[in-house]
Chain A
């Protein structure tokens, strides 16, 4: 009786764990199954592009560009924010500040989209006009500037805001785990607070920080709605960040196209989703791998 209970319960638990593996494999398999017909897609569903690769490539470019810009902005800011919480803020303030940052993570992406169109875009539009006028010799700021501000740079800023709480949360966790012993050793040698952080906190947290940034990157790569709403995309490949002609991202392109798509167009979009899945999987995989390595190393 009891032994049967044990067997049943254990197999239930085991199958739940295996089901997760199956689900993950399922994501890859079903996306591949439904994505494959796209290889035979004709140019008329590919927006005039000759084959699926030519169709996906500008999207991949846009996805990587937007995410990379977002991380360039978010990573230093997050590390600073994490330091405020772990080392700079007085203890009474640190907790409320942590809550505020968590609040950023709780805002649904569609609301970030509204904010991006309504608040951020128009205000940045004016800044872009200034940039085009004064820094137009740089290829990134070559005009004509978008008046509505719905550019790839605006989308990246929204993505940065969304990646910020993720990176901050992980960084502040590892920053505050830095052994007090090492921090005191640095202070006792006559280090200022900043020198103490550079001498002990950063070396201790290096792998954690890298993996946090990778996870933030994963989030920025896959984020859909904010980009779909904010970006006014035309599907070109350009490094001009402030014009009204912008590359689109895979996720945003799917969100915009899928509801009205039918026939092989659906397969085309699913194929691009498969590409996005592979990219984010690699990024997350590397991020977790670095974190796991770091743990093993620090464990000793």
Chain B
């Protein structure tokens, strides 16, 4: 491959230059090695940190390789290499937060996990000990109610948009506003739920179901969008086949269309649950926080994992170590739950999807 240096380059035998002077295939590796070596110098002599060294190495590489390429291969090729170097280092940069975040959560979280951590609440706990049982219960209850509210509304709205609306005015407006609704800040959803519940229960209201209502505002648009996409994929001939058998429209939808799209809908709902399970702000507003287990979503404050993490870290009590440790343990638990839901969604879509071949 790289024996090109030994051969005499066959530049332009005829009058058409197909060949251009090219950098050898090991050129990027060489430049990378030199960049790292040069960047290591200030580490040795000036005591720079590792981060500064990596940054310097990347900058050197991004400058040096295109410059070398420009002088040998021409400016167009140089620009091409510059673009490639930039997008790849952008990718590397974007992975830094992910890697450091995962490392932090795992290294700080794993030591905290224990049987006690998952089975105890924070009731009457001062300092060491206690657990997140009450917060897990709260998260499950609040999220479950949110799903119970959102799924029927979201799926039925999508059915309307695809099966009945079919491009009429209301359907177009709803589609557009659902898109806009996906951008509602979560804290605004929390304030909405609070403003709504204040009308019935008076100022200072805090209850789990309020959190579910707030999460529904965030969840419904996701469910509508994913269900819509799935219903669009159901082939039209399937519906016509059912009509041709004399099946009424609503039975066609419930017996043919929805079951065909079911795996996609379940996937979308799972992803939506994963998305709202990690929401903090609306629950902070309306569900509040408590140290005890509360199974009743319709009265009193209810702790949830994200809110628990927030308070444990920001108001850890005295001494602060124990509260902050529990925050990391809860963060690991929450991430594990969200990731598990995401993986579950992928599995569902993979195992049930290819009924129609594609």
A touching B, CB within 8 angstroms? yes
- Which residues from chain A sit less than 8 Å from chain B, CB to CB? 2-3, 5-6, 8-10, 12-21, 23-24, 26-27, 30-31, 33-34, 76-77, 80-81, 83-84, 88, 97, 100-104, 106-115, 117-120, 123, 161, 164, 192-195, 197, 215, 218-219, 221-225, 229, 251, 254-255, 258-259, 262-263, 266, 269-270, 273, 276-277, 280-281, 283-285, 287-288, 292
Name 25 interchain pairs, CB-CB below 8 A, sorted by A.
A5-B248, A9-B250, A10-B160, A13-B159, A13-B163, A16-B155, A20-B224, A77-B93, A80-B86, A88-B88, A106-B338, A107-B278, A108-B331, A108-B335, A114-B309, A115-B105, A192-B76, A192-B77, A194-B83, A194-B84, A218-B183, A262-B204, A273-B188, A284-B179, A288-B179
Q: For the complex, would chain A's binding face be called helix, strand, loop or mixed by DSSP majority?
A: helix
Q: Which 7 pairs show the lowest CB-CB distances between chains A and B?
A: A222-B185, A108-B278, A284-B183, A80-B90, A16-B156, A9-B250, A30-B195
Contact A280 B185 (CB under 8 A): yes
| A277, B310: Cα distance in complex, Å | 23
- Which residues from chain B sit less than 8 Å from chain A, CB to CB? 51, 76-77, 79-80, 82-84, 86-88, 90-91, 93-95, 97-98, 100-101, 104-105, 108, 152-157, 159-161, 163-165, 170-171, 173-174, 176-189, 191-192, 194-196, 198-199, 203-204, 217, 220-221, 224, 248-251, 253-254, 274, 277-281, 284-285, 288-289, 306, 309-310, 313-314, 327-328, 331, 334-335, 338-339, 342
| A23, B193: Cα distance in complex, Å | 11
Q: Which residues of A contact B342 (CB under 8 A)?
A: 102, 106
| Given A26-B196, A259-B288, CB of A84 within 8 Å of CB of B87 | yes
| A106, B187: Cα distance in complex, Å | 18
| A188, B48: Cα distance in complex, Å | 48
Kindly provide the distance from the CB of A224 to the nearest chain B CB, expressed in whole angstroms: 4
| A27, B216: Cα distance in complex, Å | 12
| A101, B342: Cα distance in complex, Å | 13
Kindly provide the distance from the CB of A234 to the nearest chain B CB, expressed in whole angstroms: 17
Contact B280 A110 (CB under 8 A): yes
Contact B91 A80 (CB under 8 A): yes
| Given A17-B174, A19-B153, A222-B187, CB of A34 within 8 Å of CB of B94 | no
Contacts A3-B248, A19-B153, A224-B280 known; 8 new A-B pairs at CB < 8 A: A9-B249, A13-B159, A34-B195, A76-B90, A101-B94, A273-B188, A281-B184, A284-B179
Contact B183 A229 (CB under 8 A): no
Q: Which residues of A contact B279 (CB under 8 A)?
A: 108-109
| A16, B171: Cα distance in complex, Å | 12
| Given A114-B104, A194-B79, A195-B80, CB of A225 within 8 Å of CB of B98 | no
Q: Which residues of B contact A117 (CB under 8 A)?
A: 313
Partner of B185, one of A23, A164, A224: A224
Contact A20 B76 (CB under 8 A): no
| A13, B281: Cα distance in complex, Å | 31
Q: Which residues of B contact A26 (CB under 8 A)?
A: 192, 196
| Given A13-B163, A84-B88, A119-B101, CB of A255 within 8 Å of CB of B184 | no
Q: Which residues of A contact B314 (CB under 8 A)?
A: 229
| A215, B221: Cα distance in complex, Å | 15
| A178, B287: Cα distance in complex, Å | 46
Kindly provide the distance from the CB of B66 to the nearest chain A CB, expressed in whole angstroms: 11
Kindly provide the distance from the CB of A20 to the nearest chain B CB, expressed in whole angstroms: 5
Q: Which residues of B contact A33 (CB under 8 A)?
A: 195
Q: Which residues of A contact B339 (CB under 8 A)?
A: 103, 106
Contact B335 A77 (CB under 8 A): no
| A197, B79: Cα distance in complex, Å | 12
